Amino acid sequence: MRILVLGFTGYLGGHVVEHLRALPGARVFGGGRSPAAELDIDLATARTDRLAKTLASAAPDAVINCAGSTDGDAVTFAEVNSRGPAVLCAALREAAPSARLVHLGSAAEYGPGTPDTRVTEASATRPVTTYGATKLAGTVAVTTSGLDAVVLRVGNPVGPGAPPTGLPGRIAGLLRAAGPDPDAVIRLGDLSAYRDFVDVRDVARAAVLAATSPGPVPHVLNIGGGHAVPVRELVRALARTAGFRGRIEEDGGGSARSGAVSWQCSDIAAAGDTLGWRPSYVLDESLAALWAATSLRSEGGRTP
C-alpha cells in the first residue's frame, strides 16, 4: 500500500510516519517543505495543476494530511488550514480520485462546549477563534469533496515531542528551566478550563486505522481521550512527574483562544464502532513520555 503523509516532519505527522513504517507492506512517502521530503509540497501556495502532477507521480492509495498551523496570524491560518485542504482535494480528484484521504481536523471546530456534555460528530460547529474557523473551513472542503475522505477531529494532543507552542510542551520547557530549585516560581494564566487530552501516539494510530480500513468510513470522527480534564490538573501532574519543588501561580490571564472555550470533551464512540479504536494511554503515561522526551532533548539525545 502506498501512503503519502503531508506534514510528515511535524508533531502529529512524525508519529503517523513512525506507525506506518511498522505496517507490513506499506510504502510511505513524506510530503512537505522539508529537504527530507520525497515530494516537495506546500499546500499553502501550491497550484492545483502542479500538485496534481506531483500526486500522480506518487500514485498513493491513501493520503494522510497532517499539515496545519496552530500558531500564527489569520492569513497563515487561512492559507494552511483552509486553502491547503481545498487545493489538496482538488488535486486528488484529478490525480488519484480513488485514494482514501485522512485529514486531521480539530475539536476547536466545535467551539464552546456545555459542561458535563460530550460533543458528537453531529453536534453544531460554532468556532469562536480564527484557528477553529479555518480548521472548520478545511473540514468542509474535505467532507464536500466527493472523495473517499474522513476528517479526524482531534482533541488536545499530548505526549512525546509536544511542541513548545502548545500548553503541555510549554509547561515541560518551563519545568525543565526551573529545575529542582525549591524557590522557583512559574507564573501561568488561568488554568480553570477543561480539555480533552489524547496521546499523540493514539492519534497516529487512529490516522493509520482510518487510512487502511477496508470498509467505508464516516466523513467525521472524533479522536480524543473521551474525558474532560482540568488544565490545572494536567499542569500539576506534569510538575509531579518532573519533580518540581517550586510554586505555580495563576495570574488570571491567558490566551484568547483558550479563554473563549472553558469546556471541551468529545464523544469518541463512533471511532470505536468504525475503526475499533480506543485510547490506549492514560494521561499520566502521556505526561511521563513527554517529560522523558524533554529530558532527552535537553541532553542532546534522540527522542523516542
In Å, how far from its chain's centre is CA 236?
23
- List the grid coordinates of 186: 512559574
164 with 244: CB under 8 angstroms?
Answer: no
In whole angstroms, give the CA distance from residue 5 to residue 7.
6
The residue count for the chain: 304
Contact 155, 264 (CB under 8 A): yes
Strands 197-199 and 247-250: unpaired
Give catalytic status of residue 281 as yes or no. Answer: no
Which of 62, 65, 83 is CA-nearest to residue 74?
83
- Collapse the DSSP code of 300 into the 3-class scheme (helix H, G, I; strand E, B; otherwise coil) and give the result: coil
Whole-number Å distance between alpha carbons of 158 and 178: 21
Distance between CA atoms of residues 92 and 229, nearest Å? 38
Q: Which amino acid is at 298?
A: S
Q: What share of the chain is helix, strand, coil (3-state, %, to 5)?
A: 40, 20, 40
Distance between CA atoms of residues 97 and 84, nearest Å: 17
What gap in Å lies between CA 304 and CA 301, rounded to an integer? 9
- Catalytic residue of the set 11, 131, 194, 281: 131
Cell numbers of 114, please?
456545555
Strand 156-158 and strand 197-199: the pairing is: parallel
Active site residues: 131
